[in-house]
Structure 1
Amino acid sequence: MEKARGRRWLVRTLITLGVVAGVFVAAVGGVFAWLWTGADVSTVGKVRFANRMAVPPLAGSTVDKDGTRVFDLRMQTGETEFKDGRPTPTWGFNGGYLGPTLRASRGEQVKVRVRNTLDEASSVHWHGMHLPASMDGGPHQMVPAGGDWAPRWTIGQQAATLWYHPHPHGRTERHVQRGLAGMFLIDDERSKRLALPSRYGVDDLPVVVQDVTFDGAKLDHGRFFLANTGFLGEQTLVNGTLDPYLEVGDELVRLRLLNASTARVYTFGFDDDRSFGLVGTDGGLLEKPATMNRVQLSPGERAEIVVRVRPGERTVLRSHPWRHGNGWEKRFNGGDDSFDVLELRAAKTLRTSPALPAALGAPELPRAEDSVRGRHFELLQSGINRRPMDMGRIDETVVRGTTETWTLRNGGDVTHNFHVHDVQFRVLAVNGKEPEPALRGRKDTVAVPMGTTVTIVLRFDGPADPDTPYMYHCHLLRHEDEGMMGQFVVVDEGQRAGRPPAHAGH
């Protein structure tokens, strides 16, 4: 009898546990289903386009007696009204949010006097610029709170759309999100002769795109717990403008697109799928315009596109869902998201624009046949080549004047990208195949989706500095901050790498 009662008790207990487990699994499944169905973000058809797009002013400059062009940048706190009557605490250069556009020509010597009025140290990195390592503005060139820094260098590269932003080790994402960013345009004689839209703020426009989420009157920089890319916002800003529109008075408009978000990938196109001419990438103009209706930019990448508008029409620059990524990444890391970014409003009568040139000139790119060495980089969130960033460790040493082939492999569980300081590289292959047109120009940042191998060719023209490293890193800034970064130095033939300076707090 006792044994029978014991068996019945055991059966009832197992049934009860089974029911509880079933309810728990069903509840978890229901929560996951709810998260899955609600994880994508879309502002398509919901944006009012009520605010005129701000255009960052061109930075003023002076010219020293020796011909050096001098700019001044002040890192400061401020408040910005993204929404009427609701000031938001922000950071900026020479103002409350973002910074002016610096502009110089190839061959000019420039100096930028940086003043940090923030209550913490930061830096200013010249993203895409070829310059000495000590002037690069990475984590080894910190500007203390209340301090100054005045890098100078000679512009020695082709016309391009570059940008500047902070690079403090472990805090880059936060500093960029608060608003510290701006464009740096380079001109050269060839670009000045081409019949491209070139009137800044009229038919040649900076388009700095960021994603944001507002928590009351504050910018929310949290992240969705199922996302492993970093912060993903629910709205987009263009040049710091929420719900922006742009009045267009010319048949052709040149948009200099910059993905200044910290983690989000954008696939830019238009709401009516019209085609546009891609004329430039990160480091300058393509050999000839490429006609397309989509261009994908990961954080830090740039693209110059020229779009034709018709009198009186309106069209919307839109970010469409990604082309790459598995189901998890598309749903929880922004791949399924879509945004109405900017409305173009064409005047009823438009100024005539010349047709795009058939040729733009050969970009200066390193040649694969000149490569003297190969290197391999495994991209993992735990660290490139499984080594987290160490400020005191030189990871790679390259010889000035040589060309190398680097293989980038992402076998992990999330999309990464790869940015190299100082150089503009050639993308030789993606998964062994010729790259698409948007990857055939000069690049300093390239997306490397999951399961992808990208081969790039780089030439290191110095100057040599064995003690001061440049960086290479994932430009999804949360990944960078958490250690997905390495360092290389440029040395002369026969010279050995030195040791970076010590930094308190790193």
Structure 2
Amino acid sequence: MEKTRGRSRLKRVLIVLGSVVGVLAVVIGGGFAWLWTGADISTVGKVSFSQEMKVPPLAESTVTKDGTRVFDLRMQAGETEFKAGKKTPTWGFNGSYLGPTLRAARGEKVEVRVENTLDEASSVHWHGMHLPAAMDGGPHQEVAAGARWNPYWKIDQPAATLWYHPHPHGATEQHVARGLAGMFLVDDAKSGALALPKTYGVDDLPVIVQDVEFDGNKLDHGHKILRNTGFLGGRTMVNGTLDPYKEVGDRLVRLRLLNASTARIYTFGFDDSREFSLVGTDGGLLERPAGMKRVQLSPGERAEIVVEMRAGERTVLRSYPWEKGDAWEKRFSGGDDSFDVLQLRAAKTLRDSPTLPQRLVESELPEAKDAVRGRYFELKLSGINGKKMDMGRVDETVTQGATEVWTVRNGGDMTHNFHVHDVQFRVVEFDGKPPGAALRGPKDTLAMPIGSTAKIAVRFDGPADPDHPYMYHCHLLAHEDEGMMGQFVVVEKGQQAGTPGGHGGH
């Protein structure tokens, strides 16, 4: 009898436990379903295009007796009125948000007098620029609060759309998201002689794209649940302008697209799927224009495109869902998201533009056949080649003047990208195939979807300096901050790497 009662109690307990587990399963399943169905974002058809797009001013400069062009940049805190009547705390260069466009020509000597008026250390990295490692502005060149830094170098690379942004170790995402970024345009005689749109702010437009989120009047930089890619905002802005439009008066318009977001990947095209011409990538012009309807940019990448306008029309630059990525990433890492980014409004009468040239410039990229050795880099959030960033450790030592082929592989945990300081590399192959049109130009940053493998040819022309390293890292900035970064030094043949210093206590 006692055994019968015991079995009966056990049965009741199991029934109750089963019911509780069932309820929990329903609740958890329902919660996940709610997260899944609500994770994608779209602003398509919802943007008012009510504010004229700001065009960052060209930075003023002076030229010294020895011909050095000198710029002044001041990192500062301020307030920006993104929305009428609401002031948002922000950071900027020479203003409250973003910075002026620096412009100089190949062959010029430049100096940038950087002043940090913030209440914490930061740095200014010249992304895409070929320059000595000590002037690179990476984490070893932090500028303390209240301090100054005067990097100088000679510009020795083709015309290109470059940019500048902070690179403090462990805090890059926050510093960029607060507004510290700007363009640096390099000109040269070859590009100047081409019949390309080239009047800055008129038919040659900087388009700095960022995603943002507001919490009241403040910028919200928080990482949402299940989104380990980093910060993803619910709307976009261009050059610090929400709901932007730009009136244009020329038949051909050149857009210098910069993905200055910290984690979001954009697939740019137009709302009517018109074809445009890709004329330049990260480090400069292509050998010839490439017609396409979509170009995808991960954080840090640039593309120069030329679009043809018709009198009186309006067209929208749109970001479409990712071309690659697994179902989880598309849902929780922004791959399914769509944005109306910028409206172009053509005048009723347009100035005619010269026909786009069929050939642009000869390539200056290194050739894989000239490589003297190879290296391998596996990308995972846990580190590159299994190692977290260590400011005191030199990971790779390369010989001045040498060409190498680097094999870069995404280890399979999530989408990353790969940025190398100082150089512009050639993509030799991607997933075992020749690169597509968007990857044939000079690159310093390369998107790496899950499981992908790329081979890149890299040449190290800069001055040897065993004590000052350059970086290579994932440019999804939260990943960089978490340690997905390594460093290399350039040495003379037979020389050994030194000991990195000047890392601000990291």
- TM norm structure 2: 1.00
1:75 aligns to what?
75
User: In the aligned structure 2, how far is the partner of 1:325 from the partner of 1:413?
Assistant: 11
Deviation of the 1:71 alpha carbon: 0.4
Q: 1:233 aligned to 2:206?
A: no
Equivalences for residues 274-285 of structure 1 within 5 A: 274-285=274-285
Structure 1's 245 and 502: CA in aligned 2 closer, same or farther, altered over 3 A? closer
Distance (whole Å) between structure 1 residues aligned to residue 152 and residue 498 of structure 2: 23
Aligned to 1:384: 384
1:15 & 1:325 partners in 2: Cα distance? Answer: 43
Deviation of residue 362 (structure 1)? 1.4
Contact 2:141 2:502 in 1 (8 A): no
* 1:426/1:456 contact within 8 Å kept: yes
Q: 1 CA distance for matches of 2:390 and 2:360? A: 42
Amino acid of the residue matched to residue 232 of structure 2? L
Distance 2:355 2:314 in 1: 21
What is the SS of the residue equivalent to 1:12? Answer: helix
Show CA shifts across 1:165-205 (max 9, x none): 00000000000000000000000000000000000000000
Counterpart of 1:34 in structure 2: which amino acid?
W
AA in 2 matched with 1:85: G
* Counterpart secondary structure, 1:379: strand
Alpha carbons 2:400, 2:460 under 8 Å: kept: yes
Partner of 2:119: 119
Deviation at 1:462, TM superposition (A): 1.8
Q: Distance in 1 between matches of 2:256 and 2:503?
A: 36
After superposition, where does 1:5-404 map in structure 2 within 5 Å? Answer: 5-404=5-404
The reply to whether residue 407 of structure 1 matches residue 403 of structure 2 is no
Aligned partner of residue 33 in structure 1, secondary structure? helix
Q: How far did residue 503 of structure 1 move?
A: 3.2
* Cα displacement (A) at 1:412: 2.4
Letter in 1 for 2:360: L
Letter in 1 for 2:242: L
Partner of 2:437: 437
The answer on whether the counterparts of 1:392 and 1:502 sit within 8 Å (CA) in structure 2 is no
Identity across the alignment (%): 75
Task: Answer whether contact 2:141 2:503 (CA < 8 A) is retained.
Answer: no
Post-superposition offset of 1:363 = 2.0
Distance 1:502 1:207 in 2: 34
After superposition, what is the alpha-carbon deviation per residue over 1:23-71, rounded to whole angstroms, capped at 9, x for unaligned? 1001100000000000001100000000000000000000000000000
State the number of aligned residues.
Answer: 506
How do residues 417-432 of structure 1 correspond to structure 2 at under 5 angstroms?
Answer: 417-432=417-432
Q: CA deviation at 1:15?
A: 1.1
Counterpart-to-counterpart distance in 2, 1:502 and 1:117: 20
For each residue in 1:107-136, what CA deviation from the matched residue of structure 2 results, as whole angstroms up to 9, or x when unmatched? 000000001000011100000000000000
Map of 1:452-467 to 2, 5 A cutoff?
452-467=452-467
Distance apart, 1:505 and its partner CA: 3.1
Q: Distance in 2 between matches of 1:503 and 1:384?
A: 20
Report the residue type matching 1:459 in the other structure.
Answer: R
For 1:341 and 1:100, locate their aligned partners in 2 and report how far apart those are by CA, in whole Å.
21
What is the one-letter code of the residue matched to 2:120? Answer: E
1:502 deviation in Å? 5.1
Q: Is the 8 A contact 2:166 2:176 kept in 1?
A: yes
The one-letter code matched in structure 2 to 1:361 is V
The structural deviation recorded for 1:491 is: 0.1
The amino acid of 1:31's aligned partner reads G
2:312 aligned counterpart, secondary structure: coil
For residues 368-404 of structure 1, give each alpha carbon's deviation from its aligned partner in whole angstroms, at most 9, with x where no partner exists: 0000010000101011001000000000000000000
Q: Secondary structure at the match of 2:380?
A: coil
- Native 8 Å contact 2:191 2:361 kept in 1: no
8 Å Cα contact 1:284-1:363 kept in structure 2:
no
TM superposition shift of 1:225: 1.6
The 1-side partners of 2:359 and 2:462 are apart by: 30
* Separation in 2, partners of 1:411, 1:482: 17
1:303-348 CA-to-partner distances (Å, cap 9, x unmatched) read: 0000001011000000000011100000000000000000000000
State whether residues 250 and 353 of structure 1, in contact with CA within 8 Å, keep that contact through their aligned partners in structure 2: yes
RMSD: 0.6
TM-score between the two structures when normalised by the length of structure 1: 1.00
For the residues of structure 1 that align with 2:212 and 2:412, how far apart are their CA atoms?
27
Q: Which amino acid aligns with 1:370?
A: D
**Residues 212-245 of structure 1, C-alpha deviation per residue, up to 9 Å, x if partnerless?**
0000000000011201100000010100000000
CA distance in 2, matches of 1:27, 1:50: 42
> 2 CA distance for matches of 1:290 and 1:228?
34
Partner deviation per Cα, 1:250-294 (whole Å, 9 max, x = no partner) = 000000000000000000000000000000000000000000000
SS at match of 2:383: coil
